[in-house]
């Protein structure tokens, strides 16, 4: 399915089919002028939705399907959905926007899917959806072999990241709807998790689809750093249209 909504999923309340739910979200966010502002509002609407460890359909042996489900998410499909909704004007544009965000050349295939998150990030930056903010003297450069996904050929990733201890200085300039990627120390893997930054007065929060909580949650960013191991983090910022 490459141009319409999946017809087997419902929204969190079990009543609205996906297309109607997307229409409602777009209506609610229409008066917000900025992409980052819409991402903040839309991500709030998805708090409490279930975590889904395998929300997509496709493998080397199973045909790829363009999934546009709105009933459950993993950490990446949550961000894909919020970013896509913030950039479109009507429900008809949603499947195409998801397709162009998720696949390297817009072709719905397992090989074209942006499986490794540093590739996903780079793709959004190159196509003008996000801006790379991981710059400057506080960052480190990394070259890492990626082989975590056994169904894909090994590859070499190149990326910059902030070491974990730099979060206090970086947090001072983070804005609503910045995307934070947590660099994995695991062999063969680039990114272990990602989420959306939200400022609430003096609190710095992150909204993310958390496997440990089995749902989309809002959490103190500092708490996440204290409780989780990581090599560092990467920051992207949504670009305005």
pLDDT in tens, 171-182: 999 999 999 999
Each residue of 32-58: pLDDT tens digit?
999 999 999 999 999 999 999 999 999
What pLDDT score was predicted for residue 7?
Answer: 41
Residue 143 has pLDDT above 70, yes or no: yes
Please compute the mean of the pLDDT values over residues 117-121 and round it to a whole number: 98
Q: Confidence band (pLDDT; 50, 70, 90) for 9?
A: very low
Q: What is the mean pLDDT of residues 120-148?
A: 98
Contact 133, 121 (CB under 8 A): no
Q: Is 90 exceeded by the pLDDT of residue 12?
A: no
pLDDT score at 15 = 42
Instruction: Look at residues 69, 62, 57, 94 and name the one whose alpha carbon lies nearest to residue 9.
Output: 69
State the Cα–Cα distance between residues 239 and 42, nearest whole angstrom.
Answer: 16
CB of 241 closer than 8 Å to CB of 87: yes
- Predicted pLDDT at 60: 94
pLDDT in tens, 185-200: 999 999 999 999 999 9
Name 217's bridge partners. Answer: 208
Average pLDDT taken over every residue of the chain: 93
Residue 237's φ and ψ, nearest 5 degrees, are: -125, 135
Which pLDDT score is estimated for 5?
55
Q: Is 173 left (phi over 0), alpha (psi -120 to 50) or beta?
A: alpha
pLDDT at 2: 42
Say whether pLDDT at 206 is over 70.
yes
- pLDDT recorded at residue 192: 98
Which pLDDT does position 134 carry in this prediction?
A: 98
């Amino acid at each position: 399915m490459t141009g319409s909504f999946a017809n087997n999923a419902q929204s969190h309340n079990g009543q609205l089919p996906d297309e109607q739910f997307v229409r409602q979200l777009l209506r609610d966010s229409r008066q917000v002028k900025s992409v980052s502002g819409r991402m903040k509002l839309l991500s709030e609407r998805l708090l409490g939705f279930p975590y889904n460890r395998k929300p997509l359909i496709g493998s080397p042996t199973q045909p790829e399907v363009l999934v546009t489900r709105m009933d459950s998410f993993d950490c990446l499909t949550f961000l894909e959905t919020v970013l896509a909704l913030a950039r479109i004007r009507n429900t008809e544009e949603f499947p195409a926007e998801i397709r162009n965000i998720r696949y390297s050349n817009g072709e719905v295939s397992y090989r074209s899917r942006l499986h490794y998150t540093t590739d996903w990030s780079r793709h959004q930056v190159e196509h003008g959806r996000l801006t790379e903010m991981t710059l400057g003297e506080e960052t480190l450069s990394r070259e890492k072999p990626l082989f975590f996904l056994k169904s894909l050929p090994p590859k070499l990733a190149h990326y910059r990241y902030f070491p974990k201890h730099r979060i206090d200085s970086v947090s001072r300039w983070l804005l609503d709807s910045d995307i934070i990627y947590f660099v994995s120390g695991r062999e063969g893997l680039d990114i272990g998790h990602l989420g959306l930054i939200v400022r609430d007065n003096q609190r710095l929060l992150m909204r993310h689809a958390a496997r440990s909580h089995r749902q989309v949650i809002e959490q103190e960013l500092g708490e996440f750093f204290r409780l989780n191991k990581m090599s560092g983090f990467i920051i992207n910022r949504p670009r305005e249209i």
